[in-house]
Amino acid sequence: MKVELKLYQDEEWLRQMLDEQDKLLSEIADLCEVSLSTVSRWAARFEIRKIRTYSGDRSGPNNPFWKG
C-alpha cells in the first residue's frame, strides 16, 4: 500500500512556496486545506521556517503594549 504524500509534506515544494514565492504559512495552509499548525510543524521539521520582523520601530510609544 502506497501512502500519498501531501504537498506540504514535500520539502522541496514547501521551500519553494516559502522562499521563492514568498507565501505565508497561513496562505499555504489555505491552499492545502489544512490548519496553520499542520503546515507550521512541517516547515519546522524541514527547518525552513522564517520569522518575519516588523518593518518599523516597535519600542517605547510605538509598542502597542507600552504603558508610558
Q: How many CB atoms lie within 10 A of CB 13?
A: 15
With contact defined as beta carbons under 8 Å apart, do 14 and 43 qualify?
yes
Residue 29's pLDDT is: 93
| Domain coordinates in residue numbering, the chain | 1-49
Residue 37's pLDDT is: 93
Each residue's pLDDT tens digit in the chain (68 positions)? 666 779 999 999 999 999 889 899 999 999 999 999 999 999 999 998 766 655 667 778 888 888 87
Residue 3's pLDDT is: 64
pTM of the model: 0.67
Residue 63's pLDDT is: 82
